[in-house]
Copies of this chain bind each other. A is one copy, B any other.
Amino acid sequence: MPKVNMVQAINLALKEEMQRDKSVVILGEDVGKDGGVFRITEGLIEQFGTERVMDTPLSESGIVGAAVGMAIYGLKPVAEIQFMGFIYPTIDQLFSHAARIRSRSRGRFTCPIVVRTPYGAGIKALELHSESTEALFCHMPGIKVVVPSSPYNAKGLLISSIRDPDPVIFLESTRLYRLIKEDVSEEEYTLPLGSARIVQEGKDVTLIAWGSMLHRVLQSVEGVDAEVIDLMTLSPFDEETVYKSVKKTGRVVIVHEAPKTCGFGAELSASIAEEAMLYLKAPILRVTGYDVVMPLPKFEDYYMPSVERIRKAIEEVMKY
């Protein structure tokens, strides 16, 4: 099995699905000849032509709006938004339409689109190139949100997302794109949406993370008997796995890079406080980005949850 990074794994998933299913098409800015600014779609226009790999005008709302129309007609469009900071103009099409097509038409029409976008900090990029606002999309019933954490699960989750009959936001950590290589089969495989994965079992404390923060968590749990959960799908999230772990450990630390207030950590914590309160031995702590406008690179390291901050939170809950 070839060892590939996440860019290659995502490229592989797209290629395989396009080979398998003629209704899968790609659209976005610079996805064609340029192969995407992160090279995710490299080689696809050569293999599948301009009809299936469409360079669009600079129109985020138009891209997602057109994808909705394509899906209504029966295609399975995979739209790329160049950075998560440019997804905001698509929110109207996502929330007013993509999320509601099935409901509005009582199932006559559906909206199986995937909106892929690079998210998160860690590559010292420009303003609006480091956003991590995944929680916004988890508050919209009708939309699913998926965040892979490795080449292997990126491929399996993307294929599932493309095959999913409902709209999926697929968030790819820019920091992870080229950070890790993994064995990724060129055979077809899928990973189910809505299922978390226990990366490491443990008894004393449950750590919950997704995307690039998972790796920081793994660096932080040394010497602790920690159970580490990679959520992978945020909406709908795998409640069962979370509660089961929390009921076992009685302690929870949630880590994400988005600002704390109303981040997805809030939902996790609230769900736990509702469903597993009696098992808790300590306050549920969140280690997150600060409640500030996402800063430029000079502040980036300070903004991001560090190993040190995560350790401190673990120590804190272990006091109880």
Interface residues of chain A, those whose CB is within 8 Å of chain B, are 61, 85, 88-89, 91-92, 95-96, 99-100, 103-104, 127-128, 133, 135-136, 138-142, 235-236, 258-259, 261-275, 277-278, 280, 282-286, 291-293
Contact of A270 among B133, B141, B269 (CB under 8 A): B269
The answer to whether B128 and A139 have CB atoms under 8 Å apart is no
Smallest CB separation, A206 vs chain B (Å): 14
The answer to whether A292 and B103 have CB atoms under 8 Å apart is yes
Contact of A269 among B141, B235, B273 (CB under 8 A): B273
State the number of copies, please.
2
The answer to whether A135 and B262 have CB atoms under 8 Å apart is yes
The answer to whether B293 and A283 have CB atoms under 8 Å apart is no
- Given contact pairs A262-B264, A270-B270, A278-B283, enumerate 17 new A-B contacts (beta carbons under 8 Å): A88-B95, A100-B293, A103-B292, A104-B293, A133-B139, A135-B139, A136-B136, A141-B293, A142-B293, A262-B262, A262-B266, A262-B267, A266-B269, A269-B269, A273-B283, A274-B286, A277-B280
Greatest chain B CB density within 10 A among A89, A133, A138 is at: A89
The answer to whether A99 and B269 have CB atoms under 8 Å apart is no
CA distance A268 to B263 in the complex (A): 12
Q: Which residues of B contact A283 (CB under 8 A)?
A: 273-275, 277-278
Q: Can you name 7 A-B residue pairings with CB atoms under 8 Å? A: A91-B92, A104-B293, A141-B291, A235-B262, A266-B267, A270-B270, A270-B284
Q: Which residues of B contact A285 (CB under 8 A)?
A: 274
CA distance A212 to B236 in the complex (A): 28
Contact of A92 among B89, B138, B263 (CB under 8 A): B89
Q: Which residues of B contact A89 (CB under 8 A)?
A: 61, 89, 91-92
Residue of B nearest to A293 (CB): B103
The answer to whether B259 and A139 have CB atoms under 8 Å apart is yes
Smallest CB separation, A276 vs chain B (Å): 8
Q: Which residues of B contact A284 (CB under 8 A)?
A: 270, 273-274, 277
The answer to whether B265 and A270 have CB atoms under 8 Å apart is yes
Residue of B nearest to A268 (CB): B270
CA distance A92 to B85 in the complex (A): 9
CA distance A20 to B269 in the complex (A): 45
Residue of B nearest to A89 (CB): B92
Known: A141-B292, A261-B138, A277-B283. A96 touches B100 (CB 8 A): no
Q: Which residues of B contact A263 (CB under 8 A)?
A: 139
Residue of B nearest to A95 (CB): B88
Q: Which residues of B contact A95 (CB under 8 A)?
A: 88, 133
Smallest CB separation, A61 vs chain B (Å): 7
The answer to whether A270 and B274 have CB atoms under 8 Å apart is no
CA distance A96 to B133 in the complex (A): 12
Q: Which residues of B contact A133 (CB under 8 A)?
A: 95, 139-140
Q: Which residues of B contact A88 (CB under 8 A)?
A: 91-92, 95-96
Q: Which residues of B contact A128 (CB under 8 A)?
A: 96
CA distance A89 to B103 in the complex (A): 21
Residue of B nearest to A265 (CB): B270
CA distance A259 to B99 in the complex (A): 14
